[in-house]
């Protein structure tokens, strides 16, 4: 029996678990202690601080700029809105502030600065968000192919970008439902379908 | 702390637990049902993909409450969400697709039929299809299962028609029928645990776009939350306690179980005494609970004197395929504009073959469906994964072309997963859950025929898709297993030396301990197992009623 192959377990039955399936990989890779409880974190991560609502909940402005540029390359603006138009970076900033995504928050906070440094190193001190699109793609491509031993970053950032583009707009992404328009998804139930109910038995039977 | 003693405590409120509680409570026997998950009502369910499908609504957080998984005994086990069914009251019946096929008679005697298969621990069941048939019919009646009788030549024997007509079908179903007629294959309407008309005070299905992976906000999906549990509670003899994690089943000096110890959300430990304990926490978690319950009498775990608790774990063999039909150039094809959610076609021509084809006699079921309409999942599916994942402008174009501009028809296979010595659960020596208890470690070593069965079924599914003349088609998962559909960790059998449970699902070595979920199943069968779990649980419940009435418990 082989130890790898297409039959390796993929916990996604009928669309199940989504982003959480990556967490097993991440939790193991970062050696989290058994029974570790993300609720015990030192700072309050959800809810707004006193006074004016903060613009960002998770990322510094510099890291947020890197995040935005990565998302925009994964889902760039063309005839249809891109990741930034859809509010994807904002969505991610909020989503990973939730306690259950603590391991993903750590992953992004660790990797995004590395991506920025990589850009400065390769492209004459240009920050990642200032680099040319082809330069940005070059760096993203490295991560897609397992750069820095990190197998998890690329699938996680791609999943989060798609969440931001195609989730319920109440979470701050998919601005104006324009992500749904792009893929032809209609959130309202087609109630008229009731009229087809047991119209007839199938002919082949 | 301790609660007042009851007659029976049932651990788990899903397909394996709720029917037992219902049978007992109806007979006036006092039951407490404990479930570690929260209890939701219809109003709690919505179509928020992030909340329902992508976080921890149904599956616990991997940092707090994981399984671990290794492929082969020499591999390192890693944390995973795989192997959880659904940690809410109602269990997997809350989010199921509700494919409610029965097993076939051959499933009960597969060992006698196929003979010994090298490297497999295949065994016959100690009961026959005829023993379970009345309970299949009773569950179908309680739940209002929708379907059509005499629908195909491979149908299992039935004593009664389906209580509800089949669900409305997508107009592509007729195209599938025509294509299958040319291929001499016999598709039939998929039986579903979704009511197609008003039934037992419940509303009929409204055909909203999102169903599988979601709870039903009108209660048309026949989860135990809207069927067995409220019926049991209405008797006045059943109490369901959510968010209660059972951590141990103690035994007395005579080797009888005395009840269960559970933790409340506040962290209190409570002893619930009972004359009889029924475990129904899923095949993986029920075996784990027995293994956690060590005592002087059962040092290697409750009912585990022969070392078989956790062994012979089976899943459902699974392959998947899809075909893309672009709208452009097909403006005249009406089914491409039909938003109806259910394709409603199954194929069982390859369930059991009189003569081996490609070395296979027992394969399983193929079920056709539209690609899951979840928007994020759709985008992920189109993007793909790994080194060939699409992103950038390429992904935008693919999303427009394949999501907005096309329909994707899929199939999924449910194939026999031959049991092996190398596929089992035990207690992980290194990882504990948030209660400090060792988690279930899943070890997987599949039989080589599982791959052959999956490929065989996948090729037949793809043949049907290709007969519909799509723009493209592909097998997306050639060979895997569905780890939600699990069974077999506490096999039932007649010989106490090679099974854990007796024919009534009572532990051979503990006179007042029963396991009533899919743990009892010696084989996976070739259908999704939920209806079979419920039918058997009802059988166990009726047996318990008899035992109480005869004062034997």
Q: For residue range A42-64, what is the model confidence (pLDDT) as tens digits?
A: 333 343 334 444 589 999 999 99
> Which domains are seen in chain B, by residue range?
2-549 (3.50.50.60)
pLDDT in the model for residue A202: 36
Regarding an ipTM greater than 0.85, the answer is: yes
Burial of B295: CB neighbours in 10 Å, binned 0-12, 13-18, 19+: middle
Of A95-99, A187-191, B516-520, the poorest mean pLDDT is in A187-191
Q: Which residues of A touch B49 (CB under 8 A)?
A: 15, 18, 166-168
B197, B387, B484 ranked by CB distance to A13: nearest:
B484
B55, B79, B340 ranked by CB distance to A27: nearest:
B79
- Alpha-carbon distance values, A95 to A57, A88, A163, B50 (Å): 9, 10, 10, 10
pLDDT band at residue A204, thresholds of 50, 70 and 90?
very low
Mean pLDDT, residues A73-88 taken together: 98
Query: Where along chain A do its domains lie?
Result: 56-182
The B residues from 493 to 512 touching A (CB cutoff 8 Å) are none
How confident is the model over A6-25, as pLDDT tens digits? 677 654 554 456 677 777 66
CA B42 to mean position of chain CA atoms: 21
Q: Identify the helix (H) or strand (E) that includes residue B6.
A: strand B2-11
Q: Is B195 on the interface with A (CB under 8 A)?
A: no
3-state secondary structure of B68: strand
B393, B481, B482 ranked by CB distance to A76: nearest:
B393
Does the pLDDT value for residue A65 go beyond 90? yes
Contact B50 A171 (CB under 8 A): yes
Cβ(B447)–Cβ(B422) below 8 Å: no
pLDDT in the model for residue A38: 35
B151, B178, B373 ranked by CB distance to A205: nearest:
B151
pLDDT in the model for residue A53: 46
Contact B196 A102 (CB under 8 A): no
Cβ(B104)–Cβ(B183) below 8 Å: no
Angle among Cα B144, B147, B152 to the nearest 5 degrees reads 150
Q: Is B217 on the interface with A (CB under 8 A)?
A: no
Contact A9 B97 (CB under 8 A): no
Mutate which of B52, B54, B387 to disrupt the A interface (most A C-beta within 10 Å)?
B54
A10, A78, A165 ranked by CB distance to B393: nearest:
A78
Closest CA–CA distance from residue A131 to any residue of chain B (Å): 16
Q: Rounded to two decimals, what is the model's pTM?
A: 0.93
Instruction: Say if strands B67-71 and B78-80 run parallel, antiparallel, or are unpaired.
Output: antiparallel
The phi and psi torsions of B335 (rounded to 5 degrees) equal: -65, -25
B63, B167, B378 ranked by CB distance to A183: nearest:
B378
Contact A35 B433 (CB under 8 A): yes
Q: Which two tokens stand for residue A128?
A: 């990642």
Closest CA–CA distance from residue B158 to any residue of chain A (Å): 17
Distance CA B21, CA B44 (A): 24
Q: Which two tokens stand for residue B396?
A: 């935008």
Closest CA–CA distance from residue A53 to any residue of chain B (Å): 24
- Angle between the N-to-C axes of helices A153-166 and A20-29, in degrees from 0 to 180, rounded to the nearest 10: 150
Length of chain B counted residue by residue: 553
User: How would you label A79-97 residue by residue, b for 16+ Cβ within 10 Å and e otherwise?
Assistant: ebbbbbbbbbbbbbbbbbb
pLDDT in the model for residue A197: 40
Map tokens 């998302």 to a residue. Answer: A71
End-to-end CA distance of chain B: 25
The phi and psi torsions of A41 (rounded to 5 degrees) equal: -55, 155
Query: Computed over its alpha carbons, how large is the radius of gyration of chain A?
Result: 20
Distance CA B250, CA B270 (A): 12
Residue B310 DSSP one-character state: T
Map tokens 């906000």 to a residue. Answer: B217
Closest CA–CA distance from residue A76 to any residue of chain B (Å): 6
Mean pLDDT, residues A120-131 taken together: 97
Of B439, B431, B412, B443, the closest CA to residue B526 belongs to B412
pLDDT in the model for residue A54: 58
Predicted confidence pLDDT, tens digits, chain B (553 residues):
888 999 999 999 999 999 999 999 999 999 999 999 999 999 999 999 999 999 999 999 888 999 999 999 999 999 999 999 999 999 999 999 999 999 999 999 999 999 999 999 999 999 999 999 999 999 999 999 999 999 999 999 999 999 999 999 999 999 999 999 999 999 999 999 999 999 999 999 999 989 999 999 999 999 999 999 999 999 999 999 999 999 999 999 999 999 999 999 999 999 999 999 999 999 999 999 999 999 999 999 999 999 999 999 999 999 999 999 999 999 999 999 999 999 999 999 999 999 999 999 999 999 999 999 999 999 999 999 889 999 999 999 999 999 999 999 999 999 999 999 999 999 999 999 999 999 999 999 999 999 999 999 999 999 999 999 999 999 999 999 999 999 999 999 999 999 999 999 999 999 999 999 999 999 999 999 999 999 999 999 999 999 999 999 9
Q: SS3 string of B228-295? A: HHHHHHHCCCEEEECCCEEEECCECCCCCECEEEEECCCCCEEEEEEEEEEECCCHHHHHHHHHHCCC
Distance CA A62, CA A47 (A): 22
CA B272 to mean position of chain CA atoms: 28
What count of other Cβ atoms lies within 10 Å of the Cβ of residue B397?
A: 14
pLDDT in the model for residue B223: 98
Closest CA–CA distance from residue A149 to any residue of chain B (Å): 14
For A153, name the nearest residue in chain B, comparing CA atoms only: B386
pLDDT band at residue A149, thresholds of 50, 70 and 90?
low
The phi and psi torsions of B104 (rounded to 5 degrees) equal: -105, 160
Mutate which of A1, A135, A181 to disrupt the B interface (most B C-beta within 10 Å)?
A1
Contact B50 A183 (CB under 8 A): no
What count of other Cβ atoms lies within 10 Å of the Cβ of residue B357?
A: 12
Strands (E), B382-471: 406-415, 424-432, 438-444
Of B144, B486, B396, the closest CA to residue A71 belongs to B396
């Amino acid at each position: 029996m082989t130890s790898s192959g297409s039959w390796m377990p993929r916990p996604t039955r009928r669309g199940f678990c989504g982003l959480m399936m990556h967490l097993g990989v991440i939790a193991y890779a970062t050696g989290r202690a058994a029974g570790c409880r993300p609720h015990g974190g030192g700072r309050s991560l959800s809810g707004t601080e006193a006074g004016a609502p903060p613009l960002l909940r998770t990322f510094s402005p510099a890291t947020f700029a890197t995040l935005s540029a990565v998302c925009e390359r994964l889902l760039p603006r063309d005839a249809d809105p891109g990741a930034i138009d859809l509010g994807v970076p904002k969505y991610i900033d909020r989503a990973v502030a939730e306690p259950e995504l603590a391991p993903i928050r750590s992953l992004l906070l660790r990797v995004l600065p590395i991506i920025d440094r990589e850009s400065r190193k390769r492209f004459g001190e240009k920050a990642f968000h200032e680099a040319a699109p082809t330069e940005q793609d070059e760096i993203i491509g490295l991560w897609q192919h397992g750069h820095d031993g990190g197998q998890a970053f690329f699938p996680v950032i791609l999943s989060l970008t798609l969440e931001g583009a195609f989730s319920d707009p109440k979470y701050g992404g998919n601005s104006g439902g324009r992500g749904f328009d792009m893929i032809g998804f209609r959130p309202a139930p087609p109630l008229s379908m009731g009229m087809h109910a047991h119209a007839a038995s199938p002919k082949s039977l | 702390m301790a609660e007042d003693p009851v007659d029976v405590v049932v651990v788990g409120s899903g397909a394996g637990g709720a029917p037992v509680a219902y049978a007992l409570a109806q007979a006036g026997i006092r039951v407490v049902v404990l479930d570690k998950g929260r209890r939701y009502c219809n109003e709690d369910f919505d179509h928020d993909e992030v909340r329902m499908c992508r976080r921890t609504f149904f599956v616990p957080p991997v940092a707090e409450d994981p399984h671990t998984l290794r492929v082969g005994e020499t591999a390192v086990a890693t944390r995973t969400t795989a192997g959880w069914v659904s940690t809410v009251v109602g269990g997997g019946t809350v989010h199921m697709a509700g494919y409610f096929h029965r097993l076939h008679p051959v499933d009960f005697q597969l060992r006698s039929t196929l003979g010994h298969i090298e490297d497999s621990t295949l065994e016959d069941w100690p009961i026959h299809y005829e023993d379970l048939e009345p309970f299949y019919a009773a569950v179908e009646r309680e739940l209002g299962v929708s379907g059509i009788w005499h629908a195909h030549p491979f149908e299992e024997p039935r004593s009664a028609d389906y209580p509800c007509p089949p669900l409305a079908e997508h107009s592509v179903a007729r195209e599938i029928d025509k294509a299958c007629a040319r291929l001499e294959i016999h598709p039939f309407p998929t039986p579903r645990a979704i009511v197609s008309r008003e039934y037992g005070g419940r509303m009929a299905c409204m055909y909203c776009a999102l169903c599988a992976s979601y709870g039903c906000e009108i209660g048309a999906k026949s989860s135990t939350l809207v069927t067995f549990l409220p019926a049991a509670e209405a008797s006045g003899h059943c109490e369901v306690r959510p968010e209660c994690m059972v951590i141990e089943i103690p035994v007395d000096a005579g080797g009888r179980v005395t009840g269960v110890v559970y933790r409340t959300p506040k962290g209190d430990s409570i002893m619930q005494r009972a004359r009889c304990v029924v475990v129904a926490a899923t095949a993986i978690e029920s075996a784990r609970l027995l293994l956690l319950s060590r005592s002087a009498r059962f040092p290697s775990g409750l009912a585990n004197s022969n070392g078989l608790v956790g062994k012979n774990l089976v899943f459902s063999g699974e392959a998947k395929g899809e075909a893309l039909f672009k709208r452009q150039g097909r403006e005249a094809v009406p089914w491409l504009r039909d938003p109806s959610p259910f394709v409603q076609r199954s194929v069982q021509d390859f369930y059991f073959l009189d003569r081996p084809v490609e070395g296979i006699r027992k394969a399983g079921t193929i079920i056709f469906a539209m690609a899951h309409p979840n928007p994020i999942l759709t985008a992920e599916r189109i993007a793909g994964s790994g080194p060939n994942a699409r992103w950038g402008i390429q992904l935008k174009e693919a999303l427009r072309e394949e999501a907005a501009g096309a329909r994707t028809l899929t199939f999924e296979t449910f194939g026999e997963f031959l049991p092996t010595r190398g596929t089992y659960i035990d207690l992980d020596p290194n990882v504990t859950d948030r209660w400090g208890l060792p988690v279930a470690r899943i070890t997987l070593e599949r039989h080589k025929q599982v791959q052959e069965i999956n490929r065989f079924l996948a090729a037949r599914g793809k043949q049907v898709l290709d007969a519909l003349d799509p723009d493209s088609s592909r097998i997306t998962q050639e060979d895997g297993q569905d780890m939600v559909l699990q069974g077999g960790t506490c096999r039932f059998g007649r010989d106490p030396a090679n099974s854990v449970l007796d024919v009534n699902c009572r532990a051979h070595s503990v006179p007042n301990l029963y396991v009533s979920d899919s743990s009892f199943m010696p084989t996976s069968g070739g259908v999704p197992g939920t209806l079979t779990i419920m039918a058997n649980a009802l059988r166990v419940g009726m047996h318990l009623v008899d035992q109480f009435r005869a004062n034997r418990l």
